[in-house]
A and B are shown apart, each in its own frame.
Chain A
């Protein structure tokens, strides 16, 4: 998919979410959905399989997100999947998050954790990262069991990695 098309879809999603007045929630839910599609091969192949009717793929989305995401998020994901752009959903969402962050004069900070963070932890982590980088951040937390423990934060090109997975990798290399 071309950058222009990704840009167009992300702008459309941004406009809809902003119009619905729940941009932050939708952006966050879409971000998590995109990461889930990236991490789950079976889900990705199901949502991008052209041989499966679009209605069936949209039904999968609704069953997957029903009760766990806002109606706007479900409709937007369903729209992307129904248009046959499921493979590009992560890129579209990343562009949407960047756009939303830019609107707020913020930069996207992606944090991966083996377990979910509490609101308090998320708030303190955002403050700590802002203080560390000197930038206002739009924190996105992704639950990724593969990191085993600890956190890894990516702000632009900067990566702060203090995960158990990385430590184990370093230990394996030394062994």
Chain B
């Protein structure tokens, strides 16, 4: 090999080629072989690594995609839960409002009924008081008339009881007692 190289160097001027564009034939052959070897080595050694790297990258990307999908799914689930919760809150709010309305209606109805009852009772009491007052006034009036009548009668009787009347009463008493046996 060393001899081959020495001969090559000795016979050829490396700075001179037979074509201004193409290299020497041998150089093409050796270069081609070397290139093939290199490419073969690259294919044999580098390609799996590239494939592996690409696969790893693909897996990583897939993993990230899967994670994103899971996150999205979770987010959608959370969003659904929140929407459900919002729906529940709305339902609860409506329920509470409905109950409050029902209670308010019941309270108003109860208060109205109580007020109506109280008004009816007050009216009945007022009527009874008026009747009692009328009765009392009537009783007082009758009592006053009776009192005045009694006083008038007493005065009239006392005025009419002169000596003659007194004697007549005494004689009448004696006569009635004497005849009562």
Contacts and interface: CB of A to CB of B under 8 A. Distances in A.
A159 to B, nearest CB: 12
Contacts, number: 66
A127 B177 CA distance: 10
Contacts of A153: 177
Interface string B158-179: 1001010110011111111110
B125 to A, nearest CB: 33
Helix, strand, loop or mixed for chain B's interface?
helix
Contacts of A128: 174-175, 177-178
A162 to B, nearest CB: 5
Contact of B153 (A121, A127, A131, A171): A171
A129 B157 CA distance: 27
Contacts of A172: 146, 150, 153
A20 to B, nearest CB: 33
A64 interface: no
Contacts of B16: none
A175 B150 contact: yes
B150 A124 contact: no
B181 interface: yes
Contacts of A114: 161, 166
Contact of A131 (B157, B171, B181): B181
A113 B157 CA distance: 16
